Structure 1
């Protein structure tokens, strides 16, 4: 019985750790994606602004 219990506990622990790791990874990926998107939007905005002729 104690062996089984210990096995279950370690299984749960590794499961939690794996879950945390994948959570962190997806979080990082999502952060990178949104960062790229906002960077692109900002780049586009400044590009269109710089391409406009000066207002007289």
Structure 2
């Protein structure tokens, strides 16, 4: 499990791809939560 492993999160980051271990929605969701917290 490392940078060359396509199934690991680190491998996905290195490759620049997305999947089950690195979903696209994760960063969008966190950003939306920060905006909601800041507006309250």
After TM superposition, the score normalised by the length of structure 2 is 0.45
- Structure number with higher relative contact order (C-alpha < 8 Å, ≥ 6 residues apart): 2
Q: Which has more helix, going by share of residues?
A: 1
